[in-house]
Amino acid sequence: MGTGSVSAFGLTVAAGTFLTVYVLGKPLIGHSARLLAERTSLNGRYTPIESYSVIRTILVIALQVVVITTLLLHFRNLSLPAVSADLTLGLLVPGVALGITEMTCFGVAAEYVIGAYNVAARHSRFGSVPPSVWMDSSRAGWMGQLHVAIRVMPGPTGPILVCLQVACEEVMFRHCFPLLIGGAVTGPVVSGALFVGMQATGMPRARSAVFPMVGAGIMAAVHSALYSRTGQLLPLVVAHAACFLLASRAHR
């Protein structure tokens, strides 16, 4: 929804926010979560890995909420669009349908990526990589930790955490960053590129980020286009959550 000319100041703020939250903030949160997991009673209920995953997920969400709230309060042009009650239910079904469609597209795109890599690998010193290895790699890092948190949290707490996490991402990358950067095309494109790059933060190796980055590229293009035309974030949050929950079931 970015309009007007590109703002150098807004681009600097967006880049600084991205670095603070996703490049620098995530590792610090990971260290803090590890210390808390070692010192809290969560270890009596969960394994150390499960405790770490739950605490880290909650802290990452909290950091994003604080940063988004600060941006919304400081920059008046970032006010979120209102969603009327009678419109809410009508947006849920299209959102779920969009999420299912995106998940299907991710799977098809992932097959092409694996195929292209293996074709190139035949002509190099690197061997081909089976799909199962790619899938195992994508379970590492922050994505695997969020999947663990979903699995071990009681009742609907896990899905609620997912909804909060993806809502933060949609507000940040579909609303705040494009408006800060400016430009009807430049804002969404740069913000989409940051969204794709964000998938690689907190991953132990490059291969772990391939599937998330492929999916993020498709999602960024679709969601940015839809938000530019409709100004509605809710169906995008629903689609993002549905897509992630489907992926979580596939990871079990």
- What is the span of the domain harbouring residue 118? 89-251
Structural domain contains residue 129 = yes
Query: Over the stretch 9-23, which tens digit does the pLDDT of each residue have?
Result: 999 999 999 999 999
Q: Tell me which residue of 74, 84, 35 sits closest to 56, measured CA to CA.
A: 35
When divided into structural domains, the chain yields a total of: 1
Query: Over the stretch 31-70, which tens digit does the pLDDT of each residue have?
Result: 898 888 887 766 567 888 888 889 999 999 999 999 999 9
Percent of the chain topping pLDDT 90:
48
pTM of the model: 0.88
Cα distance between the two ends of the chain:
37
Name the more confident of 115 and 140.
115
Structural domain contains residue 148 = yes
Name the more confident of 89 and 216.
216
Structural domain contains residue 56 = no
Structural domain contains residue 191 = yes
Query: Over the stretch 117-174, which tens digit does the pLDDT of each residue have?
Result: 777 767 666 666 666 666 666 666 777 788 888 888 888 998 999 999 999 999 999 9
Structural domain contains residue 27 = no
